[in-house]
Amino acid sequence: MNKYLIKIYGLLIVAVAMVGCEEELVVDDVTNGTTRGAVLRTITPIAANEIAVGAESSEVVFDVTLEEQDAQNGDLLESVDVFATFTDNSPDNGDTTGATVGSEVLLRSIPASEWTDGPFGLPRYNLVITAGDFYSAFGLAGDNIFGGDNFTTRLQLNLTDGRTFSVNNAGSIITGGFFNSPFQYITPTVCPVEADEFVGAYALTSQTPGVLGFNVFASDLVADISAGDTSVDRMFMYQYLPDAGVGQGPVPFRFQLVCNTIIIPNAQPTGLQCSSGLLVGPAPSGTLGSYTTGDDSVFTLVFTDNINSDCGEGPVDVTAVFTKQ
């Protein structure tokens, strides 16, 4: 077991050194992106980005303000195409027979003439999508969808010089960080959770260990859980594999409360790595954590530690119970 700790220690030092050496290159990438490319910035916070089970057609389920930036301060903007995809993750809980599933559909095209100048002189547009927009695009009704289903909205920025930008040709320096230009958003189908539910102090009890036999969480951890971007998003900070004694800083653990099941977003970094990185994510068996609607006294997380088999170790399913204090 010690040989794996040596790997983790050594590669942590290497990773820190590499970050220091690459800072200048990252700055160069940002500069190059603003002079040669174009971005669609998300002006935060996003006003809405979830759809409730059985939502009425008129309900706004996606609402975001966008800002376009290019080498000529917006003069290259021709239009933005809005595409959507429906993913049915709950085939046993809703009849989607005849629906368009998995195929991308063009919702609308927004010409430059519909954009207005923002506070910095750059074009801005408030993109609003209703439940009815999604329903009609995919041949759905409110009772066809259930918790876990989702709609993906993809934006394509078209410039007057013929170039286009979207998720397929936008690097991570553009999609995240300062520019915050993801070009793609996922709208989950949810059973709404009250803002004061599943937040605050929760004592954690680990039922199973993680990679290398270590507990993923500290045995005495009391998690301070807070709400996220939507009514079902929750997160808390923790130190990964504290018994390993590596001494890394805290990282966020994120999860979603979806109609009495708990979904773990994929590939969450832990702050440790041997090569590809020790990541946590959903259990490969498909097993989900659980909670009870209207009762936030206790819930269970089920997830996989080391989903990419880093450090020569295979993935490990982990279960932890959280009890409100």
How high does pLDDT run on average in the chain?
Answer: 84
Could you say which of 190, 221, 254 is where a domain stops?
190
Write down the pLDDT at residue 75.
94
Write down the pLDDT at residue 7.
52
Shared domain for 51 and 184, answered yes or no, is: yes
Write down the pLDDT at residue 171.
46
Q: What is the number of domains present in the chain?
A: 2
Give the ranges where 139-186 is alpha helix by DSSP (H).
Answer: 172-175
The mean-pLDDT minimum among 11-20, 149-158, 255-264, 296-305 falls in 11-20
pLDDT tens, residue by residue, 185-194: 989 898 989 9
Domain that holds residue 228: 194-324
CA quadruple 129, 130, 136, 139: dihedral positive or negative?
positive
Shared domain for 66 and 121, answered yes or no, is: yes
Shared domain for 163 and 228, answered yes or no, is: no
Shared domain for 114 and 53, answered yes or no, is: yes
Q: For residue 217, what is the domain's CATH number?
A: 2.40.128
Shared domain for 234 and 107, answered yes or no, is: no
The pTM of this model reads: 0.66
Helix (H) or strand (E) holding 3: helix 2-36
* Structural domain includes residue 25: no
Write down the pLDDT at residue 88.
86
Residue 63 pLDDT grade (very low, low, confident, very high; cuts 50, 70, 90): very high
DSSP 85-145: EEE-S-TTSS--TT---S--EEEEEEEGGG-EE-TTSSEEEEEEEEHHHHHHHHT--GGG-
pLDDT tens, residue by residue, 32-48: 444 467 889 999 788 89
pLDDT tens, residue by residue, 168-212: 875 443 444 444 567 889 898 989 899 999 999 999 999 999 998
